[in-house]
Amino acid sequence: MEKQSTLFTGIFGAFIISCGVMVLLPSSQIGALQPQVTWDEGQNSPSDVYPVKLENALGRRPGQSVYAENGCFYCHTQQVRDPQYGADMERGWGVRRTVARDYIFQSVPLLGSTRLGPDLANFGSGTWRNEHHDDRRAPAKRDAAWIYKHLYSPKSNFPDSNCPPYPYLFERKDVGGQPSPDAVAVEGNHQVVPTADARNLAKYLLSLNSSHELKESPTVIKPKEAKK
Ligand code: HEC
């Protein structure tokens, strides 16, 4: 009889604990969040609800799928940690910590599992960087052309880069008249140009930006300082 009551207490206890951790705790953390509303200058009415739209709906295979299919998330996270848990912001990966609302438009949030490469949550924000303040290797800008070079041959941008190359996201084509401005290599009459997948992936990377302030996650580093 005593054994039975222990068993019952165990089962009941496990149920109560999991209910607390998986239902009540998340609900108390994010259940009371109010919609994020941006007012226009005249303070008349909310102008939009959320300023960020991910570059998701392009082409047959949107950039986010190309990112997922190629396993970028194995080495890259998309979550900036609070300063007390890590140096993400010091490294230039974001101006505030990431919160649940940042994934609101993503049916499959790609938070990532391990972090061998830099965090990409704010890659397209314009203030993202991956080098120290005095690093001479800092590129003038990381635009689509820069991303193509990185995807085709990461070592051409940074000789010690460990990011794997993705040459199959590119195709060889005849040069015709002028080589394309996006060509990553020109060999005689042939040029190596990005495929539609590479273009969508670049658009997706450039759309990654969660630097706008949110009520539950105020800006910690001012964007101007982040850019330095
Ligand atoms: C095996 C791990 C690994 C995988 C998989 C991987 N990366 Fe990387 N990536 C790295 C490492 C390490 C770095 C840091 C070295 C560097 O800056 O190039 C990096 C750097 C980068 C950078 C920043 C370069 C800079 O400094 O500006 C971008 C952007 C990037 N990777 C995109 C991608 C994309 C897109 C994919 C998928 C198509 C991908 N990575 C897959 C490891 C990986």
pLDDT digits (tens, 9 = 90+) for 9-19: 999 999 999 99
- Looking from the CA of residue 147, the nearest atom of ligand 1 is 29
Task: Report CA(164)–ligand 1 centroid distance (Å).
Answer: 7
Encoded tokens for 121? 């949550």
Would you give the distance in Å from CA 95 to the centre of its chain? Answer: 14
Distances (CA, A) of 156 to 148, 165, 199: 11, 10, 19
* Within-domain flag for 63: yes
* Within-domain flag for 205: yes
Q: Where are the beta strands (DSSP E) in the chain?
A: 38-39, 46-48, 170-174, 185-187, 190-194
Can you give the residue range of the structural domain that contains 76? 46-131+142-227
Q: Residue 3 pLDDT > 50, yes or no? A: yes
Q: What are the DSSP calls for 55-74, one per residue?
A: S---SSS-HHHHHHHTTGGG
- Helix or strand or coil: residue 199? helix
**Which residue, by CA, sits nearest to atom 8 of ligand 1?**
163
* pLDDT tens-digit map of 171-208: 998 888 888 888 998 888 899 999 999 999 999 899 88
- Tell me, using a 6 A CB cutoff, whether residue 154 lines ligand 1: yes
* Within-domain flag for 1: no
- Tell me, using a 6 A CB cutoff, whether residue 199 lines ligand 1: no
Distances (CA, A) of 86 to 27, 82, 89: 26, 7, 8
**Which residue, by CA, sits nearest to atom 14 of ligand 1?**
117
Q: CATH code at 218?
A: 1.10.760.10
Conformation bin of residue 183: beta by default, left when phi > 0, alpha when psi is -120 to 50: beta
**Which residue, by CA, sits nearest to atom 30 of ligand 1?**
163
- Sorted by sequence, the CB contacts under 8 Å of residue 187 that are 6+ apart come out as none
Q: What pLDDT sits at residue 132? A: 63
* Within-domain flag for 150: yes
* pLDDT tens-digit map of 74-89: 999 999 999 999 899 9
**Which residue, by CA, sits nearest to atom 34 of ligand 1?**
72
Q: Answer whether 195's CB lies under 8 Å from 148's CB.
A: no
* Within-domain flag for 101: yes
- Tell me, using a 6 A CB cutoff, whether residue 77 lines ligand 1: no
* Within-domain flag for 3: no
Nearest Cα residue to 152 out of 92, 116, 188, 201: 201
* Within-domain flag for 34: no
* pLDDT tens-digit map of 92-102: 899 999 988 88
Q: What pLDDT sits at residue 2? A: 75
pLDDT above 70 covers a percentage of the chain that reads 84
Our count of domains for the chain comes to 1
- Tell me, using a 6 A CB cutoff, whether residue 65 lines ligand 1: no
Task: Report CA(117)–ligand 1 centroid distance (Å).
Answer: 5
> What confidence category does residue 166 fall into, taking pLDDT thresholds of 50, 70 and 90?
very high
Single pTM value for the model: 0.84
Q: Residue 48 pLDDT > 60, yes or no? A: no
* pLDDT tens-digit map of 107-165: 788 999 899 999 999 999 888 888 766 667 778 788 999 999 999 999 888 888 889 99
